[in-house]
A = this chain, B = another copy of it.
């Protein structure tokens, strides 16, 4: 059923969902997309997919439904809303939720899905827009082993690192850890860049040599050059990362885990948003460090 040729509905064709749907087309799936804005669906149609005018239309004949939505309430609306996934998907449908949402909501929805004969896994992704386009996303999957196995061919069309990390909700838990690491490393890279710049050291040389040692990391490779150029175009918006860090802080609190650097990073991301930078890329933490240090060019 999950072999190429089977029908996959993709709900949410944004920065991430759009290219993911295209990669599913390329892999031979019959892809039917739904998005509130028609322009996004048109782009999919041009690449060989089909467009649905309602969620119901997208899901009712699909073997597999993939959702790529911004936040918990969006996923709840698609799943539980009138004429939504739960009402209209056929029994036995495999629902792959690639959204980043609260682990407890994810668990609750998976359980509700199962009660209606729908199989459900949480499969949030990391890798950003480039990873979505190139099909090299890292995908952290929570759910039952059989459902993970069934989803694997689809996931392999959109990602290159695909790991079953535990039962339902576990994918979201690991994604929260991912967002902790990404926010914290982003801030550290920003601090390091402003530090060397303030000391008159050439940033490009510093990035090159820092990348070669134990400090080497993907943000230094991919984001540091645009920080140096003071270009903070999404990519991944501050608003969304702020939302994810809210999930993290709550989940760490619930589990009694001390995350001092995570909590401070969340404050800084929240400050960016409060200052009106919610639509910038999360690498705008560099802007914040420069502002704090009195080094913003006029």
Contact yes or no, A137 B194, CB < 8 A: no
Q: Within the complex, which residue of B181, B192, B262, B292 is in contact with A210, where a contact is CB–CB below 8 Å?
A: B181
Q: Is A56 an interface residue (CB 8 A)?
A: no
A163-B209, A180-B188 known; A198+B264 contact, CB < 8 A: no
- Distance between Cα atoms of A268 and B184 in the complex (Å): 15
Residue of B nearest to A187 (CB): B261
Expressed in whole angstroms, the Cα–Cα distance for A286 and B205 within the complex equals 31
Measured CB to CB, the nearest residue on chain B to A285 is: B261
Stretch at the interface among A9-17, A33-41, A85-93, A250-258: A250-258
In the bound complex, residues from chain B placing their C-beta under 8 Å from that of A200 are: 166, 170
Q: A185-B185, A255-B199 are in contact. Are A292 and B271 (CB under 8 A)?
A: yes
B residues less than 8 Å from A138 (CB atoms) = 209-213, 216
Asked whether, in the complex, the Cβ of A192 is within 8 Å of the Cβ of B180, the reply is: yes
A127 near B205 with CB under 8 A, answer no
The answer, among B176, B202, B262, B293, for a CB contact under 8 Å with A274, is B293
Q: How far is the CA of A160 from the CA of B212 in the complex (A)?
A: 8
What's the number of copies of this chain in the assembled complex? Answer: 4
Are A195 and B212 within 8 A (Cβ)? no
B212 contacts A127, CB within 8 Å?
yes
User: Is B178 a contact partner of A215 (Cβ separation < 8 A)?
Assistant: yes
Q: A231 in the interface, Cβ–Cβ < 8 Å?
A: no
B188 near A173 (CB under 8 angstroms)? no
Q: How far is the CA of A140 from the CA of B292 in the complex (A)?
A: 27
Proximity bits, A77-115, B CB within 8 Å = 1, else 0: 000000000000000000000000001000000000000
Point out the residue from B161, B199, B214, B276 that lies within 8 Å of A173, measured CB to CB.
Answer: B199
Q: Which residues of B contact A248 (CB under 8 A)?
A: 195
Task: Confirm or deny: A23 has a beta carbon within 8 angstroms of a beta carbon on chain B.
Answer: no
Query: Considering the chains assembled together, what is the distance between the CA atoms of A212 and B176 in angstroms?
Result: 15
Give the CA-CA distance A253 to B187 in the complex, in Å: 18
The answer to whether B128 touches A214 (Cβ under 8 A) is yes
Can you name 10 A-B pairs with beta carbons within 8 Å? A128-B214, A163-B205, A163-B212, A166-B202, A166-B205, A181-B188, A181-B192, A181-B215, A260-B267, A263-B263
